[in-house]
Amino acid sequence: MPKASYAKKNSKVSFQKEFYSDLTMDNMYFAMVVRSPVSEGIVKSVSHPNLPDGYSLVTARDVPGSNLVDTEKGKIPVFCEGNISYEGEPLALLAGPDEAVLQSLFDELVLTIDTNTIEDYLPDEFDINAKALENSGKKQTKKEIKIQNEEIKNIKEIKEEFFSDKLAQRIIKFGPCFEKSDDEACIEKIFEEAKYVAENEWRYALKTPDYGEPNGAMCFWKDNSVTISTPTQWLNNLRHTASEALAIPPESITIRKTTSTNRGTNSIWYNSIIACQTAVAAKKTGHPVKLVYTRNEQEKFLNKMQPISIHHKTAANEKGLIEAMKIEIEVNAGFANPFAQEIIDRLSIASCGCYNPKNIFITATARSSLNPASSVDIQLIDSAAFFAVENQINELCNKCNLTPLEFRQKNHLNIDFTKRKIPKAQFLFEIEKFNETIEALSKLSDFNRKYASYRLDAMNWKLGSGPKEYVSVFSSPMRGIGFSCAFEGAGYYGSEIYNGSHTLEVTLETDSILTIHCPPVSNSVHEIWRGIAAEILNIPLLCVKINSVFSNGEEPPLPENVYSNISIMTSLLKKCCLAIKRRKTDEPLP
């Protein structure tokens, strides 16, 4: 590993402890986002009748490189330049030295928009049939019909390729019923013959308030190089995106990573688009430009989570054992989402919860819509699946006349990984000490007694002639006790979006200074890692240092919130320290 002084001298990345919105420069301009007022259509022009000197309107035409930036799931525009994808899509930036004047100019902008979409201008099956009948009269030859059908087929293929709303899909089939046939009918037969069946649809759109700094960036150019100050969480992606959009080599981009707190997916990937928009404005105006999202913009376009619908159909036999689960997951991903496959894969893995159904059929689909991209916390997305399956299981408990504890103990996932060959199961993860945990919680909460008492009380409520709360103002509310369970994984070791590897580098110098080379981590993780390293190598805590400086091209390929996953990275840290500890005493340092 190069020495810190060398890395700092040649690095195109620096880590700032301040917020980008607090930064200022001489002759700095401010920017506001001009957004589409409609959810679909074609933008024709964005203009102002008389822009004063010093104020600029920045559109897709001002992007030096490619206005369409490559992502894992298609191309994303820096500025909308044609077909509008959702209401509020950025059409331009208005930049100038005075924020008050910007607001008055903003209200005077003229937007010309064709409310028809590009798809509307393509012929459909009805148009082709009508045209064919008009040209040939009421009768058509076989040749004309063949040509007509070929046209219809081609149009359908074009629309499917360019206008399909399906962003990603995952289908999982497992169990004895699929050994002879992959047909969906085989699992439906189990539901027809099952003693108990529960079927429900659960919707999830968790919204947590965020009081952190809104997203944005500050950029300035010097010669043909740009400096970007922004709360990025994906250094590698930002450099690649900026190089593509600004048409400059990656080494001409200096990134100053400022303090970041937001962990939604849009703050991970769309931050790169925001930074590019700001850099284009700085290029056109010749001034440093700062773009700060308003609180309303942050909540509406970056923090918004679109609904997730999970349809559960579950069958159990007379003993209360789950015979089959059929799960359909629909994710509204918004206009685009590079994390679509990652999201549905994690939902699929968690969809069965802690249970072990005999047969499973899961269909998970992420679809685009005329909405801003859905923003989720990747590390918490499992909660949507757990919410659905736990509600489903509680309903099935009632149908089977089993307590929540009894049903879960009968059906919990128990895979024996001590065998030499990989066990046959729908998902390969182990839930340790499940029964012991349930027994301990049952005793501590006195669950069974309370559950029976509250259940009898609820039944008495229903036996009354009317709602009990109206009988007397002194009536107590209905009470109850419930039980649910979920697991928290140590992390996913591979996926569609995170196709790089997890790496950690640890160096012990001759002066007993141990350096952990990794992206910046929180103070709590920092102290945990230092303590682990000091204990394994038996060195003072003060001798353990964290180095988060990377030279150009060496930035971690993964987003920060995944790369810094405490479980995976802590495991790698332990392995590095143990390897150093095992080295021979006569081997030279570092």
Whether residue 265 sits in one domain with residue 144: no
Whether residue 30 sits in one domain with residue 129: no
Q: Are 95 and 79 contacting, i.e. CB atoms less than 8 angstroms apart?
A: no
Cα(253)–Cα(275) distance, integer angstroms: 12
- For β-strands 68-71 and 196-204, DSSP reports them as unpaired
Identify the pLDDT of residue 89. Answer: 95
Whether residue 193 sits in one domain with residue 299: yes
Among the listed residues 353, 426, 348, the one whose alpha carbon sits nearest the alpha carbon of residue 171: 348
Task: Output the 3-class SS for 533-577.
Answer: HHHHHCCCHHHEEEECCCCCCCCCCCCHHHHCCHHHHHHHHHHHH
Whether residue 181 sits in one domain with residue 139: no
Contacts of 342 (CB under 8 A, 6+ apart): 378, 495, 496, 497, 498
Segment holding 405, helix H or strand E: helix 404-411
At residue 166, φ and ψ (nearest 5 deg) are -85, 115
Residue-wise pLDDT tens for the chain (590 aa)? 333 333 343 457 777 888 999 999 999 999 999 999 999 888 999 999 999 999 999 999 999 999 998 876 678 999 998 889 999 999 999 999 999 999 999 999 999 988 776 555 555 554 545 455 455 555 566 666 666 667 666 665 555 555 578 888 999 999 898 887 778 888 999 999 999 999 999 999 877 777 889 999 999 999 999 999 999 988 888 999 999 999 999 999 999 999 887 778 888 899 999 999 999 999 999 999 999 999 999 999 998 889 999 999 999 999 999 999 999 999 999 998 888 888 899 899 999 998 989 999 999 999 999 999 998 877 788 899 999 999 999 999 989 989 899 999 899 887 766 665 555 667 777 777 888 888 999 999 999 899 888 888 777 665 555 555 555 444 566 778 888 898 876 555 455 555 556 678 899 988 889 999 877 666 778 888 999 999 999 999 999 998 877 766 667 766 766 544 567 788 889 999 999 988 867 777 77
Q: Looking at the domain assignment, is residue 14 inside a domain?
A: yes
Q: Looking at the domain assignment, is residue 357 inside a domain?
A: yes
Identify the pLDDT of residue 564. Answer: 47
Whether residue 149 sits in one domain with residue 69: no
Contacts of 308 (CB under 8 A, 6+ apart): 203, 204, 205, 329, 330, 331, 332, 347, 384
Number of domains in the chain: 3
Q: Looking at the domain assignment, is residue 536 inside a domain?
A: yes
List the beta bridge partners of residue 64: none
Identify the pLDDT of residue 289. Answer: 97
For the stretch 366-394, pLDDT in tens is 999 999 999 887 778 889 999 999 999 99
Q: Are 556 and 563 contacting, i.e. CB atoms less than 8 angstroms apart?
A: yes
Report helix, strand and coil shares of the chain as percent, to nearest 5: 40, 20, 40
Which of 497, 517, 532 represents a domain boundary (last residue)?
497
Residue 90: CB atoms within 10 A of its CB come to 19
Q: Per residue in 106-133, is it b (16+ CB within 10 Å) or e — as a string?
A: eeebebebeeeeeeeeeeeeeebeeebe
Residue type, 28: M
Q: Looking at the domain assignment, is residue 278 inside a domain?
A: yes
Order across the sheet with 41-47: list the strands. Answer: 83-84, 41-47, 110-114
Q: Are 546 and 522 contacting, i.e. CB atoms less than 8 angstroms apart?
A: no
Radius of gyration over every alpha carbon of the chain, rounded to an integer in angstroms: 29
Whether residue 178 sits in one domain with residue 143: no
Whether residue 132 sits in one domain with residue 206: no
Whether residue 375 sits in one domain with residue 304: yes
Contacts of 557 (CB under 8 A, 6+ apart): 236, 500
Cα(168)–Cα(160) distance, integer angstroms: 14
Q: What are the E-state strand segments in 231-358? A: 253-257, 289-292, 308-316, 322-334
Cα(217)–Cα(489) distance, integer angstroms: 34
Whether residue 38 sits in one domain with residue 155: no
Q: Looking at the domain assignment, is residue 457 inside a domain?
A: no
Whether this prediction's pTM lies above 0.85 is answered by no
- For residue 514, give the CATH number of its domain: 3.30.365.10
Q: Residue 529 sits in which domain range?
A: 505-581
Return the SS3 of 492: coil
Identify the pLDDT of residue 249. Answer: 94
Whether residue 154 sits in one domain with residue 73: no
For the stretch 426-440, pLDDT in tens is 777 777 788 888 899
Identify the pLDDT of residue 121. Answer: 56
Identify the pLDDT of residue 2. Answer: 33
Task: Output the 3-class SS for 337-382.
Answer: CCCHHHHHHHHHHHCCCCECCCEEEEEEEEEECCCCCCCCECCCCH
Q: Looking at the domain assignment, is residue 436 inside a domain?
A: no
Q: Looking at the domain assignment, is residue 447 inside a domain?
A: no
Identify the pLDDT of residue 422. Answer: 56
For the stretch 43-92, pLDDT in tens is 999 999 999 999 999 999 999 999 998 876 678 999 998 889 999 999 99
Which of 161, 185, 215 represents a domain boundary (last residue)?
161
Q: Are 506 and 533 contacting, i.e. CB atoms less than 8 angstroms apart?
A: yes
Which of 448, 470, 497 represents a domain boundary (last residue)?
497
Whether residue 316 sits in one domain with residue 295: yes
**DSSP line for 9-76:** HH-SEEE-SS-GGG---TT-EEEEEEE-SSSSEEEEEEE-S-PPTT-EEE-GGG-SS-SEEEETTEEE
Residue 22: CB atoms within 10 A of its CB come to 11
Segment holding 435, helix H or strand E: helix 434-445
Whether residue 141 sits in one domain with residue 46: no
Q: Looking at the domain assignment, is residue 463 inside a domain?
A: no
* Structure-token pair, residue 162: 């360019």
